[in-house]
Amino acid sequence: NPPQSGILGMHKIQDRPMVINGKIEIRPMMYLALSYDHRIVDGKGAVTFLVRVKDALEDPRRLLMDL
C-alpha cells in the first residue's frame, strides 16, 4: 500500500481461554498483526515495535509513566 511502510492491524477484544498457573481461565484477548515492507523495515525492529505496542496495551500505565 504505497506510500505506507507498515500497517498495524488491531482486532476486536474477545474472551478466550488461557492457561494461567496450570488452570484454564477466560481472559480478554486481542490479536495484533503487523505487515511491513521488508525493503524499508528490518524484521528485528518490526518485532521490537510490535512487542512494545503489546506491552503498552497490556499495561497503559507504562505510557503515562514512560517506563
pLDDT digit string (tens) for 3-53?
Answer: 778 899 999 999 999 999 999 999 999 999 999 998 888 999 999 999 999
Question: pLDDT value at position 61?
Answer: 86
Residue 38 annotated to the active site: yes
30: left (phi over 0), alpha (psi -120 to 50) or beta: beta
The DSSP bridge partners found for residue 37 are none
Query: Do the domain assignments include residue 50?
Result: yes
Q: Does 2 have pLDDT greater than 80?
A: no
- Grid cell at residue 41: 523495515
The structure's pTM equals: 0.73
Q: Does residue 1 form part of some domain?
A: no
List the beta bridge partners of residue 15: 28
Whether 38 maps to a domain, the answer reads yes
Is 42 an annotated catalytic residue? Answer: yes
Domain that includes residue 16, residue range: 6-65
Residue 46's contacts (CB-CB under 8 Å, 6 or more residues apart) are 6, 34, 36
pLDDT score, position 5: 85
Whether residue 8 contacts residue 43, with contact meaning beta carbons closer than 8 Å, is answered with no
Which one of 11, 15, 37, 38 is the catalytic residue?
38
Q: How many domains does the chain have?
A: 1
Catalytic residue among 11, 15, 37, 42: 42
